[in-house]
Chains A and B, each alone.
Chain A
Amino acid sequence: MNRIQQLFENKKENILNIYFTAGYPGLSDTEKIILALEASGVDLIELGMPYSDPLADGPTIQESGQRALANGMTLDILFEQVASVRKKSEIPLILMGYFNQVMQYGEQSFFEKCAEVGIDGLILPDLPIDVYESDYAAMLAANNLKISFLITPQTSEARIRKIDSLSTGFVYMVSRSSITGAKSDIQQQQIDYFNRIEAMKLQSPRLIGFGISNYETFSTACQYAQGAIIGSAFIKVLTKAENLDIEIQNFVENVRNATENVK
C-alpha cells in the first residue's frame, strides 16, 4: 500500500508534515535530515525540489533553494538520495516542486523514477487541475503516486469539491492569501475559513500549511484538520543548526510535546 494512504488510514489527527529543501543546508544533508525527522516522530515529509524561480515561495524557501542549487543539487542527485534513504526509512515522502522541473525531466520518466526510488506523492502547485486530470492522472495512478492539491480562503466551494475529488493524497489548505513563510499567527478570519472547510466534510484528509511554525499554530491548526505542515520555520532551524540531529529533535519535540499536552 502507498505510505501516504497508510498514514491517513492509521492516523486521523495531529499529523505533522515537515517541508524542507533537498540539498540544504549541505548537498548531502538530505538523508540525515529525513532520518532525524523520522526518528523525532514526524509523520510525513515534503522534500522540496530546489527551483530557480519559485513563484509561490517567500524569501526563506527561495534562499534555501538557491543554496541547494549552488551546492550542486539536481533531480538525478535527489533521486539517488531518496533511493538511498529508502533502504533505511519507511516515512512517507512527497516531492514538492514546480511543474517545469517535471516537464524537463519528462513527465512519464519523472513519475516512473519517483515510483522506482520510493517517493509516495507529489505536490506541484502550478500544475492546473484540468491539465492534471486530462494528461497525468492515469500516469500517477499507474505509478502509485498520490497527488495533493492546494485550496485557499478564496477558492470557491465548487472548485474545492473538484479539488477534493482529484486529490489522492490530502487537500493542502493554504491558511491565508500569501506566499510561504507568512507571518506566524492564526486569526479569527483563518478560523472561520477552517470551520467552513471542515463543515464541507471533504472525502480527503486535510492538512493546513502556510504560517504554521510552532506549538501554538500547529496545535490550533490540528483542531480544524487532520494535521498541519511546517516549512519555512523548519528551514530557519536548519540554517542556524550546529548539530542537525539534536536541533531537529528539539524542534519537533517543541511542536509535538506541547500538542500532546494540550490534548
Chain B
Amino acid sequence: MTFSIDQRGYYGEFGGAFIPEMLYPNIEYLRKNYLDIINEAAFQKEFRALLKDYVGRPSPLYFAKRLSAQYKTNIYLKREDLNHTGAHKINNTIGQILLAKRIGKKRIIAETGAGQHGVATATVCALMGLECIVYMGAIDIQRQAPNVARMRMLGAKVVPATSGSQTLKDATNEAIRDWINHPEETHYIIGSVVGPHPYPDMVAIFQSVISEEMQWQLLEQSGSSDPDLIIACVGGGSNAAGAYYHYLDKPNVRLVAVEAAGLGVDSGESAATSELGTKGIIHGSRTLLMQTADGQIIEPYSISAGLDYPGIGPMHAHLIDSGRAEAVSITDQEALDAAFQLTKIEGIIPALETAHAFAALDKIKFSEKDNIVINLSGRGDKDLETYIKYLDSE
C-alpha cells in the first residue's frame, strides 16, 4: 500500500476535487501545472534560497533532554517555531507565492484560523509586493488579536467571516466564494492540506522540507535517519503532512496524529474529526468530517483556533482510516497543562495547537529506546492572553 497521492488526485478513497464549475478553470490549471512548476530548477533555486535566507531554515532539531528524562525516552523537537513568522506555515506560503507569480496572479487571498497562515501569507505578499486579503472567522479575530495586528501592519486586509461558527471553516468558505467572484486575477493560498486536489498534495510538498531535514538531522544526532515515532497536531494537517512526508511509506516509523478534543470527545464541543467524523465532502475534498446524518457540517470547537476545523486533509483521512497513523485526541485542559510543562522544563512556549502534540506523550505507549520527534509547529506568542488567563485562574 502506498500513502502518496495517486494519478487521479486521491489518497485511497479520499481526495478529489468536488468543486462548482466556477472554480474549475483555476483548479484544473493548477492540477495540470503544479508539479512542473514546482520541479523547475529555477523555481527550486528561488524556493530553497528563500527558505534558507528569509525563513531561517533548516530549523533546528533539538534533543529535549529534560523532557526526555521526564518521559524516560528520547524526544527530539523539530523547531518550526523558530521560522520567520513563528510557525511552519511560511514554508507553504513561500512556495505558493512563487507559484502565484509564475502563473501571473496579482491578488492573493487566504483563510486563517489561528492567524499563523494569515500572517505567513501577508508576509510573503509584502515580500513580493502583491495585494493580500485574509479571511478570518469573527471569533478567531477576537481570540488571536496579536496576529490580526501583525497582518494589518504587513498590509493585508483582514475580512471577518461572520457566517456559521465564525471560525476556520467559515473563513475557508468565504475565501472560496471570493475566488469564485475573482477567478482571473486571484490565487488562493490555502494554508493546509485541505481543499480540492491539487491543494493537499501541493501544500504537503511545500511542507515536506520538515521531514526532509529531519532525515539528515536525525542521522547526525541519533545515528539513524528514521525515528520510531513522529507526533504532530492535526487541524487540517499541514504540519503533520510535512513531518510525515518522507516517512509515509516506511512502516517502521509510527505516525501519531493529535487532534483537539475540545471539552471532551463526547462533550458536543470538540474538533476530534477522526473519531467523530464520517466520510463526506468538505471544501471540495472527499475526506473525514464532522457532520449530521443529513450531511450538515457540524460546527467544531477547540480552545485552539488552528485546530478548530471539522475536517482533516484527505491524506490524513487515508492514513488514519487505513491504520497507518494513530489518532489521539487531547482536551483543552490537557493541552494547556502540556504547554506549561514544556515552558517550565524546556523554556519553550509552544502555540496552543502544538501543545496538543506534547500532551499526547501522556496518551501513547513508547519505550525507553525510542527516538520520538515532536513537530514543534509554532510558538505561543499569539496565545499569551489565553495562557495568562489560565495562569491567573490556577
CB pair A128–B176 under 8 Å, yes or no, is: no
Take A150-B21, A177-B183, A178-B181 as given contacts and tell me if A51 and B16 are in contact as well, using a CB distance cutoff of 8 Å: no
- What are the interface flags for A29-64 relative to B under an 8 Å C-beta threshold, 1 for contact and 0 otherwise? 000000000000000000000011101101000100
Instruction: Indicate whether B388 reaches chain A with its CB closer than 8 angstroms.
Output: no
**Contact for B164 among A53, A149, A177, CB less than 8 A:** A53
How many Å from the CB of B103 to the closest CB on chain A?
A: 15
* A58 contact set on B, CB distance < 8 A: 177
Residue of A nearest to B298 (CB): A52
* A152 contact set on B, CB distance < 8 A: 21-22, 24-25
- What are the interface flags for B145-182 relative to A under an 8 Å C-beta threshold, 1 for contact and 0 otherwise? 00000000000000000011000010001001100111
Take A53-B164, A99-B281, A131-B16 as given contacts and tell me if A177 and B180 are in contact as well, using a CB distance cutoff of 8 Å: yes
- What are the interface flags for B45-63 relative to A under an 8 Å C-beta threshold, 1 for contact and 0 otherwise? 0000000000000000000
Instruction: Indicate whether B342 reaches chain A with its CB closer than 8 angstroms.
Output: no
Take A53-B297, A62-B163 as given contacts and tell me if A103 and B279 are in contact as well, using a CB distance cutoff of 8 Å: yes
What's the Cα separation between A58 and B178 when bound, in Å? 10
CB pair A55–B24 under 8 Å, yes or no, is: no
What's the Cα separation between A72 and B334 when bound, in Å? 36
What's the Cα separation between A179 and B183 when bound, in Å? 11
- Determine the interface band of chain B, counting residues with CB < 8 A from chain A: 20 to 34
Take A100-B295, A177-B184 as given contacts and tell me if A52 and B164 are in contact as well, using a CB distance cutoff of 8 Å: yes
Instruction: Indicate whether A249 reaches chain B with its CB closer than 8 angstroms.
Output: no
Residue of B nearest to A69 (CB): B296
How many Å from the CB of A132 to the closest CB on chain B?
A: 11
Q: Taking each of A66, A126, A150, A163, which has the highest tally of chain B beta carbons within 10 Å of its own beta carbon?
A: A126
Take A74-B294, A128-B17 as given contacts and tell me if A100 and B280 are in contact as well, using a CB distance cutoff of 8 Å: yes
* B279 contact set on A, CB distance < 8 A: 103
CB pair A155–B21 under 8 Å, yes or no, is: yes
Interface positions, chain A 104-158, Cβ under 8 Å from B, are 104-105, 125-128, 131, 149-152, 154-156
CB pair A154–B18 under 8 Å, yes or no, is: no
Take A100-B295, A101-B294, A103-B280 as given contacts and tell me if A179 and B21 are in contact as well, using a CB distance cutoff of 8 Å: no
* B294 contact set on A, CB distance < 8 A: 74-75, 101, 104-105
Instruction: Indicate whether A98 reaches chain B with its CB closer than 8 angstroms.
Output: yes
**Contact for B20 among A51, A53, A126, A131, CB less than 8 A:** A126
What's the Cα separation between A151 and B20 when bound, in Å? 10
What's the Cα separation between A128 and B23 when bound, in Å? 11
What's the Cα separation between A55 and B183 when bound, in Å? 14
* A163 contact set on B, CB distance < 8 A: 21
CB pair B22–A126 under 8 Å, yes or no, is: no
Instruction: Indicate whether B93 reaches chain A with its CB closer than 8 angstroms.
Output: no
CB pair B18–A179 under 8 Å, yes or no, is: no
What's the Cα separation between A220 and B177 when bound, in Å? 26
What's the Cα separation between A56 and B173 when bound, in Å? 9
Instruction: Indicate whether A174 reaches chain B with its CB closer than 8 angstroms.
Output: yes
CB pair B19–A156 under 8 Å, yes or no, is: no
* B283 contact set on A, CB distance < 8 A: 55
CB pair A56–B281 under 8 Å, yes or no, is: no
CB pair A56–B164 under 8 Å, yes or no, is: no
How many Å from the CB of A237 to the closest CB on chain B?
A: 22
Instruction: Indicate whether B291 reaches chain A with its CB closer than 8 angstroms.
Output: yes
CB pair A55–B17 under 8 Å, yes or no, is: no
What's the Cα separation between A101 and B19 when bound, in Å? 14
CB pair B18–A99 under 8 Å, yes or no, is: yes
CB pair B293–A126 under 8 Å, yes or no, is: no
What's the Cα separation between A169 and B110 when bound, in Å? 36
Take A100-B280, A177-B183 as given contacts and tell me if A128 and B19 are in contact as well, using a CB distance cutoff of 8 Å: yes
How many Å from the CB of A178 to the closest CB on chain B?
A: 5
Residue of B nearest to A125 (CB): B20
Take A127-B18, A149-B21 as given contacts and tell me if A179 and B173 are in contact as well, using a CB distance cutoff of 8 Å: no
How many Å from the CB of B280 to the closest CB on chain A?
A: 5
How many Å from the CB of A46 to the closest CB on chain B?
A: 15
* A127 contact set on B, CB distance < 8 A: 18
Residue of A nearest to B178 (CB): A179
What's the Cα separation between A174 and B22 when bound, in Å? 8
How many Å from the CB of B172 to the closest CB on chain A?
A: 9
A-B contact pairs, 15 of them (CB 8 A): A51-B296, A62-B163, A100-B281, A101-B294, A103-B280, A104-B280, A125-B21, A128-B18, A150-B21, A177-B22, A177-B183, A178-B180, A178-B181, A179-B180, A179-B181
Q: Name A's B-contacting residues (CB within 8 A).
A: 51-53, 55-56, 58, 62, 66, 69, 74-75, 98-105, 125-128, 131, 149-152, 154-156, 159, 163, 174, 177-179
Task: For the A-B complex with A154-B22, A179-B180 known, give 20 more contacts whose Cβ atoms are closer than 8 Å.
Answer: A51-B296, A53-B169, A53-B297, A55-B19, A55-B176, A55-B177, A55-B284, A99-B281, A100-B295, A103-B279, A104-B295, A149-B21, A151-B21, A152-B21, A152-B25, A154-B184, A174-B22, A177-B22, A177-B183, A178-B181
